[in-house]
């Protein structure tokens, strides 16, 4: 699984709110073109299982901690939240890492590009895979 992250500030910037890292129409068009090509290539190689983007953290609810407690997001104790993901089925962890590294080529305003990152994590098929 390839996971990408953002903050509420990133979502605000993309929505046109003043944050110091505003996105232009050209920025969005370049990002959209990159992601369309990136996803198409993964589909054509047979490696893409699923991909989704997630709504802004402000539209999040956290359930847990105290039984029955529901808290609306975003959460002060976190900066980044999961923004989207790709599930890929490929020959190795190294191949998944190569795929994720390509996300660094995605066009974005300089302030956004400087804080962008992705994680690559294996998906386990059963509790036996956890090694406990």
Any domain includes 132 = no
Q: Please state the length of the chain.
A: 132
**For residue 112, what are the domain limits?**
2-122
CATH assignment at residue 25: 3.30.70.1060
Indicate whether 7 belongs to any domain: yes
Q: How high is the pLDDT of residue 122?
A: 92
pLDDT of residue 75: 58
Q: Does a structural domain hold residue 116?
A: yes
Residues 99, 104, 107, 108, CA torsion sign: positive
Report how far residue 57's alpha carbon sits from residue 59's, in angstroms, rounded to the nearest whole number. 5
Structural domains in the chain (count): 1
> Which pTM does this prediction carry?
0.85
Tokens of 50: 């699923």
Per-residue confidence (pLDDT) for residue 78, from 0 to 100: 63
Q: Of 107, 59, 56, 108, which is closest to residue 82 (Cα–Cα)?
A: 56
In a domain, 55, yes or no: yes
pLDDT of the chain, 132 residues: tens digit per residue: 999 998 888 888 888 888 888 888 899 899 999 999 999 999 999 999 999 999 988 888 878 777 777 777 655 556 788 899 999 999 999 999 999 999 999 999 888 888 888 999 999 888 887 777
**Phi/psi at 9 (5° precision):** -60, -40
From 132, 94, 91, 97, select the one nearest 118 (Cα to Cα).
97
**Torsion angle (degrees, nearest 10) of CA 76, 11, 37, 120:** 0
57 within a domain of the structure (yes/no): yes
How far is residue 95's CA from residue 89's CA, in Å, rounded to a whole number? 10
Residue 38 domain flag: yes
Looking at the domain assignment, is residue 130 inside a domain?
Answer: no
Q: Facing residues of 118 across strands?
A: 4
């Amino acid at each position: 699984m390839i996971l990408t992250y953002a903050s509420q500030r990133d979502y605000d910037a993309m929505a046109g709110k003043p944050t110091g890292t505003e996105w232009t129409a050209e920025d969005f068009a370049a990002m959209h073109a990159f992601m369309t090509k990136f996803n198409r290539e993964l589909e054509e190689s047979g490696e893409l299982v699923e991909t989704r983007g997630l709504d802004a953290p402000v539209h999040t609810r956290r359930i847990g901690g105290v039984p029955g407690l529901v808290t609306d997001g975003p959460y002060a104790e976190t900066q980044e939240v999961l923004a989207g993901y790709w599930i890929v089925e490929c020959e190795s962890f190294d191949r998944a890492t190569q795929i994720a590294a390509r996300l660094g080529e995605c066009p974005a305003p300089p302030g956004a590009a400087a804080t962008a990152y992705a994680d690559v994590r294996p998906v386990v098929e059963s509790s036996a895979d956890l090694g406990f």
